[in-house]
């Protein structure tokens, strides 16, 4: 059997953020327990001699990549836009050990897009980044699909 | 970044229904805790001057639309088909404060289709109703996709 | 090892109900996907010759008892109080195949109490009904504890 | 039936916090999607003339109390200890719209204790605050029980 | 209304497996609580005279098919590859009542593909097997989509 | 504030087991995704100079203890009773890399009791093992409480 299969692993990270200039309560610094689902697609390996026989990717490898590119960067951090209010960012950085300054408003939509860019070039040959799903709260999430952006 | 992103919010409502003429236990009046997932797709706004910068739609706006068009209509109601047994519906309406009479058998499949129709014309310009998922019980659900019905 | 252990199994049922005379939306007929957790306590059997070795009760036996006493009675039914509006109950019974008329207002609190009474005398010797938890919606539940009512 | 029943409602709020002086990643500003379970106990009302017949407390009333005393205070805020680093708190308050300064290190244990104090005197007569459960992440939580602290 | 709708039902089974020749802990016999989501798509029946009015398929029929073709085969079994170590399989079969020997390494990817093959020809006319999702652990799953393999 | 607080962390492990001599499907080798909730109780530390200020126990320490005493032992293993069929255990050990032979029938009740014994003497002074909850399937679990066994 060598079908195309999609494989997904869920990750979590605990992050504060702030939406400067927003006209709702998210303009305050607050935080979320984010849940990230990373979905890859590829052919299932059919080679009994290979330890990875029957796999699209070893879940251990997927975990290592996402941990390095995303979780280690954003977990237990505060993520803010560097586009404006540079003085605040400087104060943030002095006061907090881990401020992630990004080039965009850190909404759920923009975060999931940034994550897609960070992961796209880290995957082994033949494996495609299919989609990402990012829960910001227990009942709201954003999704990036490769097929929507090709 | 101006990618196409899908955003989803989950809603719940508590409803009784009955499937007249069905040949199983659902022919009795009974009820469910329904879970509805509404998924929209669109471009993420990239305009630092706009309070909605970085969003496809403000989740608050999505919530307001779905609450008005669906939750307020169906929550804490009994939904029945008006296609037959009109006498029963008259008695229902006398006995219960909130009977929703619809033009179809209120299965999970038909409800989710009706919800798609109710929402289709309520969305802001540039935002597409991508799909709806409706859980009837904890382990069964129906989904409507725009791409299946174009 | 012969410790006292508590064992729990979760059940679900889909039911409509109505709270006559209530001053909120539950005065309308509506429904819920109820989740019921039944917890028993007892000594773990320590007898290698017995097929039930290592168990307080075989989960299969627990399932059979709860199914017979509760699930088969209330699943896919509408439950109403018989204490008043007898004319409505008569019409209910004519219109619906499965109306459960009870001697109490069918709130979550009263249902869980009724379930405790129904189960109390159906358990094998030496096994105690420890507690019941009944979810009415995904975020609200009532609990009956033997220790609260002794 | 007038048994003692425990009723519980789940709430959520999105909050940033920081554990100053801690020797792990929580010393950075970060955030969580907190889940709070509030459990009350009391006699179920047995009075068919009363709209609240069959209830320990109307879930709507419980929701109103918890929203006012806890959710409105902590949701979409950053909570910090005022016990030290007063200069940082002053800067926090200038930069963020909603800083909650508390008299304790805002760990999960201390937050749940604070919530118990805030709720204890807000309940109707005859209803007891039984316990609180506060999830900080999806797999860790703290609980306050009245019976542990009497 | 005769739209195309997707319907899904979740199933669970408890299975041991072993990945011979793998270079991680899954090379040991171990087990999982598998969750399988079966998604079909088709036109919703629009015929008030038919008991299945408003349905793509009666969930009861879907349950019966999946139970017979998959759950009854794999639940409470140990699944192993017959491709090598035939002596071990012989011993397995002597020692355990229910050994399922398959022609592939029983990874999550290969199992979900096998399930697709088992179900493909068991569905009623006009109903398509749309996709399968198989959770191996609480945070990892594989998916087979018809559209990926046409 | 120095109240008594209970803190809980959830763990998961993937294990096969077999109930020899049982008269149901669990007499076959099969497996589960176990979920273990470990609950400790103690006074919350009130010492602003201590990095653990505001904690009953650092969740990191709790995780380290449970990982060493339980997860590392049972995860990705097959657990069997050594009380009988010694020849089978010998063959198991030859065929599988990780066979855990225990002195009891490995039911959910006996496993949770064994875990309580393994953890009881590994906790820091002043912290009590309050209870353990072990899910064997998604809808059944066993609990050990210190208060039931004192």
Query: Which tens digit of pLDDT belongs to each residue from B125-141?
Result: 999 999 999 999 999 99
The pLDDT value given to residue F84: 58
**pLDDT at residue F1 greater than cutoff 60:** no
In order of B53, D36, D142, D145, F121, the CA distances from D134 in angstroms are: 33, 5, 5, 12, 27
For residue A69, what are the CA distances in angstroms to A6, A12, A64, A65, A76?
20, 13, 9, 6, 15
What residues in D contact A81, CB-CB < 8 Å? none
pLDDT of residue C84: 58
pLDDT in tens, F70-116: 999 999 999 989 875 677 777 777 776 788 999 999 999 999 999 99
Q: Can you tell me the distance from the alpha carbon of D111 to that of D107, in angstroms, rounded to the nearest whole number? A: 6
F6 and chain E in contact, CB less than 8 A: no
Task: Of E3, E7, E54, give the one whose Cα is nearest residue B103.
Answer: E54
Read off the pLDDT of each residue in A118-144 and give the average, rounded to a whole number: 96
**E124 CA: distance to closest CA in chain B (Å):** 17
What's the rounded Cα separation, in Å, for the pair C92 and A71?
57
Task: List the catalytic residue out of B17, B108, B130, B136.
Answer: B136
Query: Closest by alpha carbon to F148, among C2, C46, D148, C38?
Result: C2
A137 to chain D: which residues are within 8 Å by CB? 12, 14, 33
Residue B96 has pLDDT above 80, yes or no: no
Q: Lowest-confidence range among B97-101, C4-8, D31-35? A: B97-101
d(CA B10, CA A149): 25
The residues, ordered by sequence, that sit 6+ positions from A68 with a Cβ below 8 Å of its Cβ are: A122
Across the interface, do F140 and C54 touch by the CB < 8 Å criterion? no
The DSSP annotation for chain F comes to ---EEEEEEEEEEEEEE--TT-SSGGGS-EEEEEEEEEEEEEEPP--TTSTTTT-SS-HHHHHHHHIIIIIHHHTTEEEEESSS-HHHHHHHHHHSS-EEEESS---HHHHHHHHHHHHHTSSPTT-EEEEEEEEEETTEEEEEEGGG--
CA distance E26 to chain A (A): 11
> D14 and A32 in contact by Cβ < 8 A?
yes
Q: What percent of chain F has pLDDT over 70?
A: 96
Residue A31 is nearest to which of D32, D91, D97, comparing CB atoms? Answer: D32
B97 vs C27: CB contact, 8 Å cut-off?
Answer: yes
Q: Is the pLDDT of residue B1 over 60?
A: no
Give B53 to chain C, closest Cα distance, Å.
33
Per-residue pLDDT at F28:
86
C14 neighbors B137 (Cβ within 8 angstroms):
yes
Q: Who among E30, E88, E98 is closest to F31 (CB)? A: E30
Q: What residues of E are labeled active site?
A: 26, 76, 136
Q: Which residues pair with B142 in a beta bridge?
A: B134, E7
In 3-state terms, what secondary structure has residue A110? helix
Chains in contact with A, counting 3 or more C-beta pairs less than 8 Å apart as contact: B, D, E
- Please, are residues B80 and B19 in contact by the beta-carbon 8 Å criterion? no
- The tally of CA atoms less than 13 A away on the side-chain side of residue B99 is 16
Q: CB under 8 Å to C144, separation ≥6 — which residues?
A: C112, C113, C115, C116, C131, C132, D3, D5, D6
Dihedral in degrees, nearest 10, Cα atoms C53, C57, C63, C67: 140
Residue E57 pLDDT > 70, yes or no?
Answer: yes
**Does the structure show a pLDDT above 80 at A93?**
no
Residue C120 has φ and ψ, to the nearest 5°, of -55, -40
Q: Å from B1 to nearest chain C CA?
A: 37
Handedness of CA A8, A14, A19, A25 (dihedral sign): positive
| Distance to chain E for F85, nearest Cα, Å | 10
Nearest CA in chain B to E61: B24
- The residue assigned the tokens 């068919």 is D48
Three-class HEC string of C55-103: CCCCHHHHHHHHHHHHHHHHCCEEEEECCCCHHHHHHHHHHCCCEEEEC
Q: Which of A76-80, A96-100, C17-21, F137-141 has the lowest mean pLDDT?
A: A96-100
The β-bridge partners of B137 are: B140
Taking CB atoms and an 8 Å cut-off, how many pairs form between chains A and B?
Answer: 76
Of B14, B88, B138, the CB nearest to C30: B14
- Compare CB distances from B51 to A22, A108, A148 and report the shortest one's residue: A22
Does the distance separating the beta carbons of B142 and E8 come in below 8 Å?
yes
Are residues D91 and A91 in contact, defined by beta-carbon separation less than 8 angstroms?
yes
Q: Give how far C12 is from chain D: nearest CA, Å.
A: 18
Residue of D31, D91, D96 lying closest to A15 (CB–CB): D31
Whole-number Å distance between alpha carbons of C105 and D54: 6
CB atoms within 10 A of CB E87: 9
Q: Do chains B and E touch (3 or more CB pairs under 8 A)?
A: yes
Nearest CA in chain A to E113: A3
- Report pLDDT digits (tens) over E94-105: 776 788 999 999
Rounded to an integer, the average pLDDT of B81-92 is 74
CB within 8 Å: A143 and B55: no
pLDDT at position E1 = 53
Q: Which residues numbered 65-124 in C keep a CB inside 8 Å of some CB on B?
A: 75-78, 88, 91, 95-98
E4/B104 touch (CB, cutoff 8 Å), yes or no? no
How does residue C22 score in pLDDT terms, banded at 50, 70 and 90? Answer: confident
Nearest to F149 among C3, C55, C59 (CB): C3
Backbone angles phi, psi at B146, to 5 degrees: -55, -40
Asked if residue C139 has pLDDT above 70, the reply is yes
CB B36 within 8 A of CB B56: no
Report the alpha-carbon distance of residue C145 to residue D6 in Å, rounded: 8
Asked whether the predicted pLDDT for residue C117 surpasses 80, the reply is yes
F3·D144 Cβ contact <8 A: yes
Give the confidence band of B91 by pLDDT, cuts at 50, 70, 90.
Answer: confident
Query: Taking CB atoms and an 8 Å limit, are A60 and E24 in contact across chains?
Result: yes
Distance, CA of E139 to CA of B98 (rounded, Å): 41
Q: Is E93 helix (H, G, I), strand (E, B) or coil?
A: helix
Mean pLDDT of B96-100: 81
Share of chain A above pLDDT 70, in %: 95
- Rounded to the nearest angstrom, the minimum Cα separation between C47 and chain B is 38
The chains found to touch D (3+ Cβ pairs under 8 angstroms) are: A, C, F
Q: What is the pLDDT of residue E90?
A: 77
The pLDDT of residue C51: 92
For residues B97-102, give the mean pLDDT: 87
Beta carbons of C95 and C107 less than 8 angstroms apart: no
User: Please, which pLDDT band fits residue F20 given cuts at 50, 70 and 90?
Assistant: confident
Answer yes or no: do A148 and B41 touch at CB < 8 A.
yes
pLDDT tens digits for range F38-65: 999 999 999 988 999 999 999 999 999 9
Q: In the numeric block, which tokens belong to residue A20?
A: 């400067």
For chains B and C, CB pairs below 8 A equal 96
Nearest residue on chain C to B136, judged by CA atoms? C33
CA angle C32, D133, F147 (to 5 degrees): 105
Instruction: Give strand pairing partners of B133.
Output: B37, B143
| pLDDT in 10s for each residue of chain D, 150 residues | 568 999 999 999 999 998 888 887 778 889 999 999 999 999 999 998 899 999 999 999 999 999 999 999 999 999 999 875 677 777 777 776 788 999 999 999 999 999 999 999 899 999 999 999 999 999 999 999 999 998
Distance CA B135, CA E143 (A): 20
Q: Which residue has the tokens 């609240």?
A: D52
- ∠ CA(C112), CA(D3), CA(C19), 5° rounding? 55
% of chain D with per-residue pLDDT over 70: 95
Which H or E element spans position D86?
Answer: helix D86-95
Q: Is C30 on the interface with B (CB under 8 A)?
A: yes
Q: Over range C87-111, report the average pLDDT.
A: 84
Q: Is A64 on the interface with D (CB under 8 A)?
A: no
């Amino acid at each position: 059997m060598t079908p195309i299969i999609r494989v997904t692993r869920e990750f979590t990270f605990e992050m504060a953020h702030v939406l400067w200039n927003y006209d709702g309560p998210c303009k305050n610094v607050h935080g979320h327990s984010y849940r990230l689902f990373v979905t890859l697609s590829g052919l299932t390996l059919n080679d009994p001699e290979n330890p990875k026989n029957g796999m699209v990717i070893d879940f251990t490898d997927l975990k290592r990549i996402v941990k390095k590119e995303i979780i280690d960067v954003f977990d237990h951090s505060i993520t803010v836009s560097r586009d404006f209010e540079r003085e605040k960012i400087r104060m943030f950085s002095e006061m907090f050990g881990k401020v992630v300054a990004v080039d965009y408003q850190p909404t759920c939509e923009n975060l999931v897009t940034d994550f897609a860019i960070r992961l796209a070039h880290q995957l082994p040959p033949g494996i495609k980044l299919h989609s990402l799903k990012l829960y910001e709260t227990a009942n709201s999430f954003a999704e990036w699909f490769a097929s929507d952006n090709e």
